[in-house]
Structure formats: structure tokens, C-alpha cells
């Protein structure tokens, strides 16, 4: 049960078995106030919900929402018909030029995507080789020179890029 100190309003959680039916003195751990607490002091009053909700307000809000949704639907229809009319008015030549532009943009973006994937894969391979360098050299002794030269080349490329910046 939760008991509140009447002096400082601090709340405490106390086991029900610690307070007998006839009650007992309690002392607040925060303010050291001592008071007598009885289980019958609990508020036995039934809580009731307040029925002050006005149904007219709810109905008007619902009607306003319905009106707004209808207006949105009408605006969407107008926009869609306008777009369709513009598409019909366009010349076939302009449509062809747009499709060619889209195709060239796709080729450029595909190349860039492939380049990013290649770079990420290369970095992942380098990290994997660096992590598994010792076990690989134990299995393939001739691989030690190749891995060493690869890491030296990467170090030179890194230094070259730093010098450019």
C-alpha cells in the first residue's frame, strides 16, 4: 500500500502486513514527522467520472472533419485532371527528350552506385585480409610477400592523397 506523509506529502510504499487493523504510529523518513495511521483512514468514496461532455461539440467536430476530407478529395481530383490535361497537351517530341534525359541520368547514377559498391567491397576485403593475415600466411607461406606489398602500396596511396590535400 502507498502511504502519504501528512506533513511533507512524501509517498511511501509499505507492506499491508506491517500495519495492523487497529492502526499504528508511523514516522516519515524525510521530515521525521510522526503520525498515527489507521487502515480505515483510506478514502472509501467512490470515484465517478464527470459527465460534462457536450455531444454537440463532438458532432460539430466530426462534421468539420468530414467537410475537410471532402474538400481534400475534390482538390485531389482537380489536380489529377490538370496533370492529365497537361500530359495530353505535350508534344510527343518533348516526351521523347524527357525519356532520353531520364535514361542518361539512370546510367550516370548506376555508374556511381557501382563505384560506391566497388569501393566498399575493396575496403571490406582489405580489412578481412588484415584481420586474417596470420592464419592465411600459415596456410599459404608465399602469400606473405603479396600481402606485405599490398599494404605498402595502400600506404603509399594514402600518403599521396594526403599530400594532394
Q: What is the largest CA-CA distance in the chain?
A: 97
Contact 34, 27 (CB under 8 A): yes
Q: Please report, in tens digits, the pLDDT of each residue of the chain (165 residues total).
A: 788 888 988 888 888 887 888 888 888 888 888 988 887 655 444 555 555 555 555 666 666 667 777 777 777 777 777 776 666 665 555 555 555 555 555 667 888 889 999 999 999 998 998 899 899 889 988 888 998 998 999 999 999 999 998
**pLDDT attached to residue 164:** 92
**pLDDT attached to residue 43:** 47
**pLDDT attached to residue 44:** 46
Q: Return the C-alpha cell found at 93.
A: 517530341
Q: Return the C-alpha cell found at 154.
A: 595502400
**pLDDT attached to residue 116:** 93
State phi, psi for 79 to the nearest 5 degrees. Answer: -65, -45
User: pTM here?
Assistant: 0.34
Quickly list DSSP for the chain.
-EEE-TTT--EEE--GGGS-TT-EEEE-TTT--EEEE-GGGS--PPP-------HHHHHHHHHHHHHHHHHHHHHHHHHHHHHHHHHHHS-HHHHHHHHHHHHHHHHHHHHHHHHHHHHHHHHHHHHHHHHTHHHHHHH-TTHHHHHHHHHHHHHHHHHHHHHH-
Amino acid at each position: 500500500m502507498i502511504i502519504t506523509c501528512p506533513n511533507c506529502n512524501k509517498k511511501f510504499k509499505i507492506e499491508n502486513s506491517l500495519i495492523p487493523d487497529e492502526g499504528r504510529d508511523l514516522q516519515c523518513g524525510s521530515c521525521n514527522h510522526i503520525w498515527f495511521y489507521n487502515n480505515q483512514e483510506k478514502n472509501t468514496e467512490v470515484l465517478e467520472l464527470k459527465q460534462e461532455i457536450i455531444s454537440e461539440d463532438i458532432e460539430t467536430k466530426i462534421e468539420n472533419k468530414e467537410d475537410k476530407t471532402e474538400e481534400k478529395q475534390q482538390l485531389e481530383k482537380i489536380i489529377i485532371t490538370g496533370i492529365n490535361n497537361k500530359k495530353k497537351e505535350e508534344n510527343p517530341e518533348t516526351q521523347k527528350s524527357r525519356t532520353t534525359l531520364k535514361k542518361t541520368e539512370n546510367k550516370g547514377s548506376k555508374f556511381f552506385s557501382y563505384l560506391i559498391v566497388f569501393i566498399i567491397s575493396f575496403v571490406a576485403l582489405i580489412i578481412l585480409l588484415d584481420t586474417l593475415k596470420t592464419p592465411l600466411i600459415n596456410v599459404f607461406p608465399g602469400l606473405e610477400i603479396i600481402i606485405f606489398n599490398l599494404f605498402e602500396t595502400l600506404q603509399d596511396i594514402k600518403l599521396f592523397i594526403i599530400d594532394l590535400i
